[in-house]
Structure 1
Amino acid sequence: MKTEVAINGADLGGSLPVENVQELASNCSKEIPHRYIRPEIILDEISTDDSLQVPVIDMEKLATSHSKYQNEMAKLHQACNEWGFFQLVNHGASMVIEKMKVVTEDFFKLPLQQKMACAQEPNRIEGYGQAFVVSEDQKLDWGDMLFLNSLPVSQRNMRFWPNSPTSFRSTLDEYSLQIHKVCMSLFKLIELNLGLEPGKLCSIYQDGTQGIRMNYYPPCRQSDKVIGLSPHSDGTGLTLLVQVNDVQGLQIKKSNTWLPIKPIPGAIIVNIGDLLEIMSNGEYRSIEHRAVVDFQIERLSIAAFHIAHLTAKIGPLPELVKENGAQYKALGFEEYVRLMLSSKLDGKSQLDHMRTNN
């Protein structure tokens, strides 16, 4: 099927080859190559209010009908509506998360030559390398990634799945399925909060696409002049992020100020993607976020992106189009993915292409 071939990355937009940042950082003198210098970040305002943090949602409370826990659903709605981000605790996936952290760290510790066995191919997003590099003069992010299509299982290309460490493939398989289970539980709860009939959202995402991106952000002597991951919103329905080590770096844009996220040990950080903003007709909003790097210590994270199934029509759900009309256009799945993969990261610019003139 054409769409099934396309989702693996061919002809939908890949990333131009660039230097390996982990290797560059290990050999780097005091001078950072000019393509990584981001002078604009000097002017960015960063919040110093430690009391201002994204909501924390308890999955165990959401899973019960006990009256004293009913306000947890209201907290979830507020988190999706006002923040676009929350930390999820008591999610039931702690054991496999810890195993996934270990194999991710072990992969990035491998010599470059071994990691390059999983290198991206031209015009494909999958594999080891960089993402969203679309021009030769584009400013670059201070980080490397391994991106793999993990679901549906039929779309896995094992050519890019590392053989080392030896437990990587089995661990990622288990992690992929468990994180998808958590994600589907969240979609069921979101359906209720949006007043949708049971299964409306779940039917769109149950057999959808899951991609897992493992990130490595090397330390940088001039960390105040580089960015680990450019400001952007995710083109997904939901993204579930796990912090691998204790180094902070994720920041979200709240009221035109960058707010550092302090990960709770064992929590999954969840964020609303553009796709859910579109389908909810703006009731829930994606939020711009970025990754910064540390002066001395590397930072690692694992993001699981969840997108609709291959035959889905991307647009506002009819039940949520009220008197103001549809706030976003409708696109076919392949056209939406092409738009998502063929542009550099630039705030919420990709979502702007989907807005109507209403």
Structure 2
Amino acid sequence: MNCLQNWPEPIVRVQSLSDSGMSVIPERYVKKASERPQLVASLNDDVLNIPVIDVSRLDNPNTLSLISGACREWGFFQAVNHGVSPELMKATREVWREFFHLPMEVKQEYANSPSTYEGYGSRLGVQKGAILDWSDYFFLVYLPQAIRDQNKWPSLPSSCRELVAEYGESVVKLCGKLMKALSVNLGLKDDYLQNAFGGENVGACLRVNFYPKCPQPDLTLGLSSHSDPGGMTMLLPDENVPGLQVRRGDTWITVKPVPNAFIVNIGDQIQVLSNANYKSVEHRVITNSNQERVSLAFFYNPKSDLLIEPAKELVTEDQPALYPPMTFDEYRIYIRTKGPCGKKQVESLIKSNS
């Protein structure tokens, strides 16, 4: 339990708070009035949804055009017919649901610390007194394989490690295909983004999110507004309980998950590489008073020590480089210190060209 001492305050598992039957959430989870979700009519059938794209033919010009439009206008899309087995997707999501319902002493064996986040956690950021999110999670490293340690992955349920390995392999293949499509759409060589990420030496990690039932969903968030600091995220949502919200101007759109789809979004590193032709977009997660939610966010990232900067082909006199070179390791220190904070991180990097 020593790793818990590295957090600024004692760790409280949100699932334990939810299971206690409390009717009022602790003050530490109450967001500022301006950050609280508007839950009225958020799930109406006529609500706007992010684009849904059939990615079975990534060599098709129409498919490429749809992906390009989604990346430029939304930063998000739902990928269907992607080649990852629906049975594998469901089994992996459900084995993690089982994990979160194991006895607390079993889960605590994997308790994480701020130094890596790998393991069972309940907060991001190390600022003392921060307002917290209504969620627990499990974070693990998948790539590079040299630092993958399956002993840090849950041994229970017994099929968990095998399913995570198989699931990760399938999602990595899909990410490689989508990276080619993004490169082509930017007018770059089809292997440009992959090579910029380190070729075969990319990084990848999995964050499994557990959002327990919340007695006051109008006062808090499951995950605060943020853009993803990495390259590209493949989210496997809980199809039965919508919760992801994407920012569209001044409006928050509640995403309605399509069965067997991945929700794909652009991260800050691709925003930098594309010189902001593609933009990462703020998103957040609302809570639910009646049902828990489980989602799997697979992050496809650059090799941590490679310099990431705008592609020279996308830099002109009229469109100068917006961002200085920086490694992903340097970049993610910010969010590991401050926690989720909208788009402040990537916007703070924009160079003054005056």
TM-score of the alignment, normalized to the shorter chain, above 0.5: yes
Matched, 1:147 2:139: yes
Q: What SS does the corresponding residue of 2:221 show, helix, strand or coil?
A: coil
1:43 to 1:330, Cα distance in 2 relative to 1, 3 A: same
More divergent stretch after superposition (189-198 vs 315-324): 315-324
* Residue 220, structure 1, aligned to residue 214, structure 2: yes
Give matches, 1:88-103, under 5 Å. Answer: 88-93=79-84, 94-103=86-95
- When structure 1 is superposed on structure 2, of 91-100 and 198-207 the one drifting more is 198-207
CA distance in 2, matches of 1:43, 1:225: 6
TM-score normalised by the chain length of structure 2: 0.91
Match of 2:72? Answer: 81
The CA deviation string for residues 132-179 of structure 1, in whole angstroms up to 9 with x for no partner, is: 232221100000000001111111133421000001001100111111
The 5 Å alignment of 1:21-170 reads 21-40=14-33, 50-63=46-59, 65=60, 70-93=61-84, 94-170=86-162
Q: Which amino acid in the other structure matches residue 60 of structure 1?
A: S
In structure 1, the partner of 2:263 is: 269
Unaligned runs of 5+ in 2: none
Q: Which amino acid aligns with 2:244?
A: L
The number of residues matched between the two structures is: 342
Instruction: Report the equivalent of 1:315.
Output: 309
The 5-angstrom pairing of residues 231-310 of structure 1 reads 231-310=225-304
CA offset digits 1:14-55 (Å, max 9, x no partner): 886520000111014222110011242576557668252111
Q: 5+ residue gaps in structure 1?
A: 1-9
The alpha carbon displacement at 1:200 in A equals 1.1
Q: Single out whichever of 132-141 and 331-340 deviates more from structure 2.
A: 331-340
CA contact (8 A) 1:214 1:302 kept: yes
Q: Which amino acid aligns with 2:20?
A: N
| Offset from partner CA, 1:240-294 (integer Å, 9 cap, x none) | 0001341010001101111100000100000001110011000000000000011
Cα deviation code 1:97-149 (max 9, x no counterpart): 12211211111111111111111035331110134232221100000000001
Q: Aligned partners of 1:273, 1:15: CA distance in 2, in Å?
A: 28
Structure 1: which amino acid aligns with 2:28? Answer: R
Amino acid at match of 2:25: I
